[in-house]
Structure 1
Amino acid sequence: MVALIYGSTTGNTLDIAVKVAQMLGEENTELFDVKDVGLDIINAFDQLVFAIPTWDYGEVQEDWDEVWHEVDDIDFTGKVVAFIGLGDQLGYSEWFVDAMGMLHDKIVNRGAQVIGHWSIDGYDFEDSKALTEDGKAFIGLALDEDTQRDLTDSRLVEWCNQIKPSIGLLA
């Protein structure tokens, strides 16, 4: 079973979380709004997907901000983790999906095995804290519902098929 934990202010991240749950199989995925359950639920799962939007100038979304310090107290050893970040690559080009990168850094430092890197091809941004060390990929799926909404569904399908084998699901 995969826990998909999200925070959403405008509803975009919730919409993405629902689509991912459908693509991974609703029988295989449990959705959790971080504002309702906090992070204690993490201990009950070995496979996790975190969906987090970036706000303003590289800020963490408000529901995630409420539990941000708690991430540092969780042992992610033995857990397989994937990330989805939402951002605006044109309006906030210098901070595109930064919150995803910031969450990744906290979690990977606590022992998680990260899956689901995603190519930067097809994006137009200035900088991001969500890049791999070589700068050729995002550490998770980057989505832009402001300027590339038309690419979201195809990106979701490809990314979900990419991570399925790593979380014990058929692609």
Structure 2
Amino acid sequence: MDKIGIFYGTEKGMTAAMAQVMYRVLGDEIADEPVNVNRATVPGLLQYKALILGVPSYGVGELPGRTTGSDEGNWEEFLFRLDEADLSGKRVALFGLGNQQKYYDRFASSLIHLYQYVRAYGAEVIGDWSTEGYHFTRSHSVIDNRFVGLVLDHHNQPEMTKDRIITWLGQVKPGLLEKLAHA
């Protein structure tokens, strides 16, 4: 596929809304409409060489799904279907949501699970993000003092959301497009 695929899991619609913002910023010339993983197929995801994947924060820093109380299927169920898939040759940028005031001790920790899964399946992950400007005590999604992907706290810092998305997309877009050029 010659476009960037955007896939997300969502509970209350916020991750879907952020995926839509990213899609609009990138434009439909280089990105396809975002797809909820509860409606996605494995072949649908595997057709892309460059992906943006988004995860809500849910449970106690767990991967969202039915075992964490999700009403619909989410990343847990999708990744179970993806089991044994080969993501080598794919370049993936990740984003996650969180609430740093309410969950300061596990802020955006669901993101690390998605990161670990896609890396274990062979994907190259790009787009780590600074922890500056956030106020939390702990996040499992921090490696070497940086988030493993873009983290958005639209509940407590809505005024920063769009700028963070635009800045992050500016950082990951060249790497994602480079992958498309070599597809």
Deviation at residue 92 of structure 1 after TM alignment:
0.9
* Equivalent residue number for residue 42 of structure 2: 39
* Equivalent residue number for residue 157 of structure 2: 148
Deviation at residue 6 of structure 1 after TM alignment:
0.6
Whether the 8 Å contact between 2:96 and 2:151 is mirrored in structure 1 is: yes
The TM-score with structure 2 as length reference comes to 0.86
Q: In structure 2, what is the Cα distance between the partners aligned to 1:93 and 1:38?
A: 34
Q: In structure 2, what is the Cα distance between the partners aligned to 1:42 and 1:5?
A: 8
* Equivalent residue number for residue 148 of structure 2: 139
Q: In structure 2, what is the Cα distance between the partners aligned to 1:38 and 1:9?
A: 19
User: Which of the two has greater strand per residue?
Assistant: 1
Q: Deviations over 1:23-78 (max 9, x none)?
A: 11122112111111143322101001101011132132332222232343221101
Q: In structure 1, what is the Cα distance between the partners aligned to 2:146 and 2:28?
A: 28
Aligned residues: 167
Whether the 8 Å contact between 1:2 and 1:49 is mirrored in structure 2 is: yes
Whether the 8 Å contact between 2:50 and 2:177 is mirrored in structure 1 is: no
* Equivalent residue number for residue 106 of structure 1: 117
Deviation at residue 112 of structure 1 after TM alignment:
1.0
Which consecutive residues of structure 2, in runs of 5 or more, have no partner in the other structure? Answer: 66-73, 179-183
Structure 2 counterparts to residues 18-167 of structure 1, below 5 A: 18-30=20-32, 31-62=34-65, 63-132=74-143, 134=144, 136-167=145-176
* Secondary structure at the counterpart of residue 163 of structure 2: helix
* Secondary structure at the counterpart of residue 59 of structure 1: coil
RMSD: 1.4
Which consecutive residues of structure 1, in runs of 5 or more, have no partner in the other structure? Answer: none
Deviation at residue 14 of structure 1 after TM alignment:
0.8
The TM-score with structure 1 as length reference comes to 0.91
Q: Which runs of 4+ in 1 moved over 6 A?
A: none
Q: Deviations over 1:85-128 (max 9, x none)?
A: 00111111122111111110111122111111100000111211
* Equivalent residue number for residue 181 of structure 2: none
Q: Which amino acid aligns with 2:80?
A: H
User: Which of the two has greater helix per residue?
Assistant: 1
Q: 1:168 aligns with which of 171, 174, 177?
A: 177
Q: Percent identity?
A: 31
